[in-house]
Amino acid sequence: MKLKLKTVFLLYFMVSLMGLVYALMQLGQRCDCREHDLPKDRTISQLRGELHKLHEQMRKSEPTKASKKTSLPTIYVITPTYARLVQKAELTRLSQTFLHVPQLHWILVEDAPHKTPLVRDFLAASGLTYTHLHMLTPKERKLQEGDPTWLKPRGAEQRNEGLRWLREMAAAAGGKGPTIESAVVYFADDDNTYSLQLFEEMRYTVKVSVWPVGLVGGMKFERPVVENGKVVRFHTGWRPSRPFPIDMAGFAVSLKLVLDNPEARFDGDAQIGFLESSFLQNMVTMEELEPKADMCNKVLVWHTRTEKPKMKREEALIKQGLGSDPNVEV
């Protein structure tokens, strides 16, 4: 019978306490060898035997836990990011969620001509397994100041760069092995909020798994509608006729499916709302989608964009020559 580590520690403490009490009882007593009879010797011998068994079980339990962790399918999370005042704050929030997810590899892709020191140092101190990449969005595809967020697809180049890295990594490994064939790819933006349960829901994706997303598209949630275990349509407030009217945070893809479809990518020139469809439509059909999160009845991810900070006082101080200390990193 296998003992839990907590039970082992409890038994170890009780046996140690009994030994301590017995030793204290002997202090100050005259040594009379005639009193050291066989029953006492037998009890001490049994206690020592129990201690030895507990030590062995404790020694064996740690490798078992480690092997269980490494046997989990890897989740590769691709996150586009760009320089802004709240960047480090949002990356901090996201990374501290990821720290609680076993067997996760974070692929962070900067929208920049080169890797920035802020993101490089942040990742180095994060405690996560990560890959740091960069890919600059062409000027004609960038949103300009004051543009609504929905005007142009965002993050396409960065997500494609993450997919490129995964394909090259898999090719270098021969395209086989449990860490590749069972792995999952998820596209997690740095301004969303994620339940830890979401990552366990997606971990065993066969092709494409789907679930609801909260606070999106001007609605409390959007979700796939499931009947008899199959996705039959989508509950969405805009263009439900799209091939896959789904939010970027609402699906995960098996790495094997990505590798089997080397041309699959996000189209940076896609129509508004069609970015997800441009990636999924040639890899999977609606009938093949795998509903998760209680048959798509539970929201486990939310769009919670951080409000853009107002810097009027900061700007006024700068005009007076009293700006912030440049040595302080925000």
304 is in an annotated binding site: yes
97 is in an annotated binding site: no
Q: Does residue 276 have an active-site annotation?
A: yes
80 is in an annotated binding site: yes
203 is in an annotated binding site: no
Q: Name the token pair of 120.
A: 């490089």
Contact indicator for 217, 238 with CB cutoff of 8 Å: yes
Q: Which of 227, 276, 315, 329 is catalytic?
A: 276
- Please provide the distance, in angstroms rounded to a whole number, between the alpha carbons at the two ends of the chain: 53
**Strand runs labelled E in 161-227:** 184-187, 192-194, 208-210, 213-216, 219-227
154 is in an annotated binding site: yes
Q: Name the token pair of 182.
A: 């069972």
Phi/psi of residue 325, nearest 5 degrees:
-65, 120
Q: Name the token pair of 145.
A: 């100041």
81 is in an annotated binding site: yes
Gap between the Cα atoms of 302 and 74, Å rounded: 23
294 is in an annotated binding site: no
32 is in an annotated binding site: no
Gap between the Cα atoms of 40 and 267, Å rounded: 80
DSSP letters of 213-250?
Answer: EEEETTEEEEEEEEETTEEEEEE-SS-TTSSS---GGG
The number of C-alpha atoms within 13 Å of 302 and in the hemisphere containing its C-beta is 10
* Catalytic annotation, residues: 276
Q: Which residues participate in the annotated binding site for Mn(2+)?
A: 191
Q: Known binding site: residues?
A: 80-82, 111, 154, 159, 189-191, 303-305
Going by the annotation, the residues of the binding site for UDP-alpha-D-glucuronate are 80-82, 111, 154, 159, 189-191, 303-305
